[in-house]
């Protein structure tokens, strides 16, 4: 039963440490946990995993580990745990929730030497100084049926929070996918609009030029016909005017069709923009829960497929 309490306590302590670090680093109080509640389970898992490893090693060597070996083991095990957690979260949710790519001596952004050393010092500090106090505190916790009921309640809340968070992340991925589709649609519409404008300008110029040329040819034909045969003058003039009118009407019809296309593309563009804004607003809604909280907690998150879309949304929080 004590191990279960250790997990809860170190999860809460890890959350407090993360909030304090972000308060100093970013100047604001942020719920830094992956879950909604005031817990960071990775710290609970880390503490249990490292303590179990220490006990196993001391059992093998038949004695206590010195502080230097304590530190080395803490660096190795904490780094291994962080690497596994980052890898698992990436493959489960297609996102890198923390990223050390900009730091020296890093590996795929999951781990880096700087934080590995920090985790080593933390593990040593906790094992040498903190754990004894935690053990004394847990000794005063309820035992028997009351303790079991209390633990069952706490872990039920944990499980419910985990399920809610998973649903939230899946919904976030769905909305990012929809925004990505609408963004591509918007880009396609804008490209088609530009091509349409170029085509319209080119065709208008060509039709206008052909109208003048045809009118001139008909005019020249009228002059030549008048010289050859005067009685055809009125007929040729009438034909010339009909030809000019037909060309003018054709140009007008062409322009009308182009205008309809422009309106259609403008409508599709506006619908795409509106859809993107609505989805972004859904993601950004909610200060303490939902997708908005997660993006504030992990501002350096990198998505496997929708990094550009996510970056544009995160910018709105800054």
Write out pLDDT tens, residues 75-114: 999 999 999 999 999 999 888 888 898 898 999 889 999 9
What pLDDT sits at residue 233?
Answer: 53
Q: Is 172 exposed, middle or buried (0-12, 13-18, 19+ CB in 10 A)?
A: buried
The domains of the chain are located at 2-141, 180-286
Q: Taking a C-beta distance cutoff of 8 angstroms, is the pair 138, 5 a contact?
A: yes
Structure tokens at 104: 């020296």
% residues pLDDT > 90 (the chain): 33
Q: What is the pLDDT of residues 258-310, one digit of tens each?
A: 667 777 767 777 877 888 888 878 787 765 677 888 888 888 888 888 888 88
CA end-to-end distance (rounded Å), the chain: 44
Single out the residue of 189, 158, 155 nearest to residue 275, CA to CA.
Answer: 189
Structure tokens at 242: 């009909």
Question: How confident is residue 151, by pLDDT bands cut at 50, 70 and 90?
Answer: very high
Question: How confident is residue 249, by pLDDT bands cut at 50, 70 and 90?
Answer: low
Res 223 pLDDT > 50: no
What is the chain's length? 318
Question: How confident is residue 227, by pLDDT bands cut at 50, 70 and 90?
Answer: very low
């Amino acid at each position: 039963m004590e191990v279960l309490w250790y997990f809860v306590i170190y999860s809460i302590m890890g959350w407090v440490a993360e909030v304090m670090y972000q308060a100093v680093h970013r100047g604001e109080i942020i719920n830094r946990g992956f879950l909604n509640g005031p817990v960071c389970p990775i710290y609970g898992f880390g503490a249990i995993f490292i303590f179990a490893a220490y006990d196993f090693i001391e059992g093998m060597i038949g004695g206590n580990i010195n502080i230097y070996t304590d530190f080395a083991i803490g660096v190795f095990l904490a780094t291994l745990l962080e690497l596994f957690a980052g890898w698992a979260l990436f493959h489960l949710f297609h996102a890198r929730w923390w990223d050390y790519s900009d730091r020296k001596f890093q590996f795929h952004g999951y781990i880096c030497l700087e934080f590995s050393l920090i985790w080593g010092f933390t593990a040593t500090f906790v094992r040498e100084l903190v754990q004894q106090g935690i053990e004394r505190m847990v000794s005063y916790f309820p035992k028997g049926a009351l303790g079991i009921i209390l633990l069952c309640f706490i872990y039920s809340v944990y499980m419910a929070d985990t399920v809610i968070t998973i649903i939230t992340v899946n919904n976030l991925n769905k909305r990012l996918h929809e925004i990505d589709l609408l963004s591509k649609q918007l880009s396609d519409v804008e490209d088609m609009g530009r091509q349409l404008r170029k085509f319209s300008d080119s065709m208008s110029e060509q039709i206008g030029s052909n109208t003048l040329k045809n009118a001139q040819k008909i005019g020249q034909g009228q002059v030549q016909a008048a010289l050859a045969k005067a009685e055809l003058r009125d007929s040729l003039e009438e034909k010339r005017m009909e030809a000019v009118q037909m060309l003018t009407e054709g140009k007008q019809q062409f322009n009308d069709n182009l205008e309809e296309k422009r309106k259609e593309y403008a409508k599709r563009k506006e619908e795409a923009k509106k859809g993107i804004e609505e989805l972004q607003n859904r993601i950004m809604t909610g200060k303490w829960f939902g997708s908005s909280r997660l993006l504030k907690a992990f501002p350096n998150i990198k998505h496997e497929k929708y990094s550009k879309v996510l970056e544009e949304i995160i910018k709105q929080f800054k």
